[in-house]
Amino acid sequence: MLVAVGAGTLDGEGTTRHRETLRRVAGVGARALAGTPSAVAALPVADAGDAAAVSEGLLLGSYMFSDYKTDNGKAPLGAATIVTRKSRDKAVKAAVARAEIVGEAVN
């Protein structure tokens, strides 16, 4: 299955606006993939800040509050892998690890 999410123009690489757009796009993709065991995200990750934004978007987009529901519907996205040329960069790895901790604490 392939899910394409429109981001519009990604202006100002490295800016807060750019990263918020990445975060939102990743979140929309994660919500669209509810019920899917795993996914691969291929977004323009230029540095650790971008990687954190994509990670946060995937995790927060996968959040489902279902404590008071009798029918929980589809399960959230099970797992996600971010594909980037910077995947071996220590700062990127640290940013993703931090985003995972924050995402798990929120969820």
DSSP string, 4-42: --------STTSHHHHHHHHHHHHHHHHHTTT-S-EEE-
* 90: amino acid identity, one letter: K
Q: What is the pLDDT of residue 47?
A: 92
pTM, two decimals, is 0.86
Q: What is the pLDDT of residue 107?
A: 67
Each residue of 35-62: pLDDT tens digit?
899 999 888 888 999 999 999 999 999 8
Question: The tokens of 81 are what?
Answer: 């892998």
Q: What is the pLDDT of residue 72?
A: 67
Residue 104 confidence class, pLDDT cut points 50, 70, 90? confident
